[in-house]
Amino acid sequence: MNLYKYITSFTLIDRIGIAAIFLMYAIFSTTLSLGKSVLQYGPIVTYIGLRMLISGIILLVYYCCALQKKIVFERKKDIIGFLNIALFGICASYVLCFWALQHLSIAKSAFLLILSPFFTAFFAWLHKFETFTPKKLLGLLIGALGTIPMLRSEERRVGKECRSR
């Protein structure tokens, strides 16, 4: 019996998409510990610049070869916007993140990264880009409750260190 005839292309994309999301988060979770160990061997800017250069080349090759499109900036305003995103959205945020990683533990850095959706939601609400529906508030509440075990484990670890001194 051929089961593939019952599977549409959308269900295959959904299954591949979920696997890609899990893979992406698995790779992303290693960046903090890998980044902390790499920072011992060189400056932050070199590491981030090399990382962004490699990922940019991969995306550029995909855009040009797989999609068979040319890179065209129609207006000078597009180039300025692209440079703003590159400088502030990527370079500054990663440099500050890894600079903080030099002075914090990986657990504290991961906890601060976990809080970023809450800050995003707060600033979106503050600038009236977002309204909170009961479903969104429930999601934020579940996410906030998910951070409690991390807070409690850090609290216990710090308490044990203080008592051992």
CB atoms within 10 A of CB 98: 22
The answer to whether the CB of 117 falls within 8 A of the CB of 108 is no
Give the chain's length.
Answer: 165
pLDDT tens, 41-71? Answer: 888 888 888 888 898 888 888 878 877 777 7
Predicted TM-score (pTM) above 0.75? no
Mean pLDDT of the chain: 76
- How far apart are the C-alpha atoms of 50 and 28, rounded to whole Å? 17
pLDDT tens, 78-101? Answer: 788 888 888 887 777 888 888 888
Q: For residue 14, what pLDDT is reported?
A: 63
Q: For residue 93, what pLDDT is reported?
A: 80
